[in-house]
Amino acid sequence: MALEVPMPVITASGEEAVVTAWFVDEGEACTQGKLIAEVQAEKVAAEVNAPGAGYIVDRVEVNDPVPQGDPICRIVESVEKPTTRPSAPPATGEKTPPPRVVASPAARRLAKELGVDLSALTGTGPDGRVTEADVKAASETRPAAASGLRAVIARNMLRSHTETAAVTLHSTVDLGAQAPSQVTATVVKTVAETLANHPQLNGHRDGDRFVPADVAHVAVAIQTDEGLVAPVVRNTASWSVKEIAETITSLAERAAAKTLTAGDYEGGTFTVTNLGPYGIDGFTPIINLPQVAILGIGTIRQVPVVDDNGEIATRNQMVLSLTFDHVFVDGAPAAAFLQEVGAALTG
């Protein structure tokens, strides 16, 4: 009797994930509870343990996208053992199985992180063992490609672009003579408080309907070596700017260390992304599905303005860019939200 081993549901059922490493070979015996694979969806990783004892068959290929919940392999009670025969050259068109790669655990982990195919490397370690140095050298010479996990991310971004009627509004906000020291945290706090008056922007889509949230859980876009992640600051309005800043710093450190879990991404109702540190003014952020809106923060610039007395003064200004799904939100309510956020930030 065969036992199917499903791709764990670590973000949302049906979304694609990939197997990043197999720890058992095709046809290899395993015991119940044995670690057999490592998988990843977006930036959330998980380990897969064998739900029963038997032999592993029908493994999916590493980096082949699989819907979460679908099988990645089967465990069977027995496998047919080939009869021992004198070795002979393979027939035309017949494929020989690839040799088993000998690599250190550190090299295997690094290869998984960098997307390097171990079977294509010639090891320089003892007895041809692949080392970390071999993996690093291979990663520096290979061409960049959108494959595996990056391909999953790309498809999710494309899905957001094609499945939403995205409209972006830009607004210049006058921060006054003194800009806030914690820009992202200040905007995140302001957004969470403002969303209380604009429930049509705070929640998630469920097919063709919008489900509003009771409170704001603001996701914050964080750049990592592998791309953007957006973990969630929960009950955002209840925290101080200092507490939000500390939480964002902690999330960024964990993102860099790749220790964020599925729980860190769950329940987001709105997203904030800041490209100000890169000198960007206004931009068009992509909606973080299944949410319906995202706010982009531009760089803060000192500009000369004419004050109420007709004098020239220096003020700090930045551009906020709100992208919303016009299917669920009309332009006027979205503009009113952006206006209210700007007014709250005005110094």
- Omega before 290 cis (within 30°)? yes
Going by pLDDT thresholds of 50, 70 and 90, the confidence category of residue 92 is low
Task: Report the C-alpha gap between 209 and 166 in whole angstroms.
Answer: 16
Give the burial class of 23: count Cβ atoms within 10 A of its Cβ; 0-12 exposed, 13-18 middle, 19 or more buried.
middle
pLDDT at 195 over 70: yes
Average pLDDT over residues 7-22: 83
**Rg of the Cα atoms in the chain:** 25
Average pLDDT over residues 168-187: 94
Q: Which stretches of 100-193 are assigned E, i.e. beta strand?
A: 166-176
Residues sharing a CB contact under 8 Å with residue 253, sequence separation 6 or more, in sequence order: none
User: What is the average pLDDT across 274-280?
Assistant: 96
254-290 in b/e burial notation, b at 16+ Cβ within 10 A?
A: bbeeeebebebbbebbbbbbbbbeeeeebbebbbbbb
pLDDT in tens, 295-309: 999 999 999 988 888
Return the pLDDT at 34: 92
> C-alpha angle 119/137/26, rounded to 5°?
15
Confidence bin at 83 (pLDDT 50/70/90): very low
pLDDT surpasses 80 at 247: yes
Tokens of 78: 């027995």
- Please give the Cα distance from 268 to 265 (Å, whole number): 7
Q: How confident is the model at residue 171 (pLDDT cuts 50, 70, 90)?
A: very high
CA nearest neighbour of 57 among 115, 4, 116: 4
Could you give the CA distance from residue 3 to residue 145 in angstroms, rounded to a whole number? 35
CB-based contact 54:75 (threshold 8 Å):
yes
Structure confidence at residue 117 as a pLDDT band (50, 70, 90): confident
Q: What average pLDDT does this structure show over 263-290?
A: 94
Q: Where does the pLDDT of residue 191 fall: very low under 50, low under 70, confident under 90, or very high at 90 and above?
A: very high
Q: Does residue 130 register a pLDDT over 90?
A: no
| Secondary structure (3-state) at 322 | strand
pLDDT of residue 145: 47
pTM of the model: 0.66
The answer to whether the CB of 63 falls within 8 A of the CB of 115 is yes
Query: 15-48, pLDDT tens digit by residue?
Result: 888 898 899 988 999 999 999 998 888 767 788 9
